[in-house]
Amino acid sequence: MNQPPLIALDWGTSNLRASLLDADGTVLAARSAAAGVMAIPERRFAEALMALCGDWLAAHPHCACIASGMVGSRQGWVEAPYVECPAGIADAAARLVRVAFGDGDRHHLHIVPGLRCVGADGQVDVMRGEETQLWGAGLRAGSCVVLPGTHSKWAWLGEGERVLGFETHMTGELYAVLTQHSILGRLMALDGAPAPAAFDDGVRLGLQQHAHLLHTLFAARTAGLMGQRTAHELPEFLSGLLIGAEVASARSGNSSRAIGTHVTLLGDGALCDRYARALALAGLAVQRAPHEATTRGQWRVAVAAGLTDWSL
């Protein structure tokens, strides 16, 4: 009987997601736990991994393990050095970091390195985890890809799915800080129903005034003080303002690579829906990347590294 050759781990800051893959990279089983990098006490990463996947490893002792995400960060299990862009699957496969775990160190986890680039402004940018999403999405050369998140990424792909460069925008984290720890949040009700019209108004303002964001942000307070927005509308307005400013900033020419007239949106859930709406308001055509891109990308890196070939 053909044994599953790979366990793929998406190990981020908050959560650990595991997938058991067959010889074709098809997901046979999946599970997750709130065992992200920041939730592991006393660096007990091996214990967290065995708690989630120990039965899989017992049933399939020859199974290889690969992980991407913050597990390879300085705060993670073992730091996996960044690979300089442009970078493709083969580059990452050649730089996997291996760490032993389990009874007698009988198992090995292979951690995918992150990527590093230098922007047109001369500043260093990094990503860790998103690279496997990009390589698993099956995107064509010339694609501009938006990956929403706490730190959203705009990435550009070249021939052979090589990541040419990318930009990070701290939009999600800034929204959380402003709503929870600033005076802007004092007038907001964060548990209300969606307010799409307020979101759209915020997007339009962010698109038009992104260069003056530090001033424009105060509108999320004055709109409440003057009765122009309800407490439930203010978070939507602020969200739209920040995302609109992000989109306009990405298009403003700071990047040395053009965005063109369309982008690919890579991710799941309500946040991607928000970005799709904002991108459309900016006049950009949007297409969605396939789901499960992270797991597929991990599989492709593992194959390139020979982890799925038991004859090695």
pLDDT at 3 over 80: no
Pair 10, 130 in one domain: yes
pLDDT of residue 232: 96
Cβ neighbours of residue 223 closer than 8 Å, sequence gap 6 or more: 229, 234, 237
Pair 132, 178 in one domain: no
Pairwise pLDDT comparison (190 vs 310), residue with the higher score: 190
Residue 151 lies in a domain: no
Residue 154 lies in a domain: no
Cβ neighbours of residue 275 closer than 8 Å, sequence gap 6 or more: 146, 148, 152, 243, 265, 267
The predicted model gives 172-190 an average pLDDT of 96
Q: What is the pTM of this model?
A: 0.92
pLDDT of residue 192: 78
Contact 307, 64 (CB under 8 A): yes
Residue 312 lies in a domain: no
Q: What is the Cα–Cα distance from 299 to 307, expressed in whole angstroms?
A: 9
Residue 158 lies in a domain: no
Provide the pLDDT confidence category of residue 32 given band limits of 50, 70 and 90.
Answer: very high
Q: What is the Cα–Cα distance from 138 to 141, expressed in whole angstroms?
A: 10
Residue 204 lies in a domain: yes
**Residues facing residue 111 across a β-bridge:** 67, 97
CA distances 248 to 187, 211, 242, 243, 285, Å, are 27, 9, 10, 9, 15
Strands 16-21 and 6-11: antiparallel
Question: What CATH number is associated with residue 223?
Answer: 3.30.420.310
The predicted model gives 287-293 an average pLDDT of 91
The predicted model gives 149-159 an average pLDDT of 96
Q: What is the mean pLDDT of the chain?
A: 94
pLDDT of residue 254: 56
* DSSP-derived secondary structure letter, 86: S
Q: What is the Cα–Cα distance from 308 to 93, expressed in whole angstroms?
A: 12
Q: What is the Cα–Cα distance from 272 to 274, expressed in whole angstroms?
A: 5
Pair 198, 100 in one domain: no
Residue 147 lies in a domain: no
The predicted model gives 287-304 an average pLDDT of 94
Q: What is the Cα–Cα distance from 80 to 126, expressed in whole angstroms?
A: 12
The total domain count for the chain is 2
pLDDT of residue 11: 97
Provide the pLDDT confidence category of residue 5 given band limits of 50, 70 and 90.
Answer: confident
Question: What CATH number is associated with residue 123?
Answer: 3.30.420.300
Pair 258, 296 in one domain: no
Residue 95 belongs to domain spanning: 6-138+292-304
Residue 187 lies in a domain: yes
Pair 257, 211 in one domain: yes
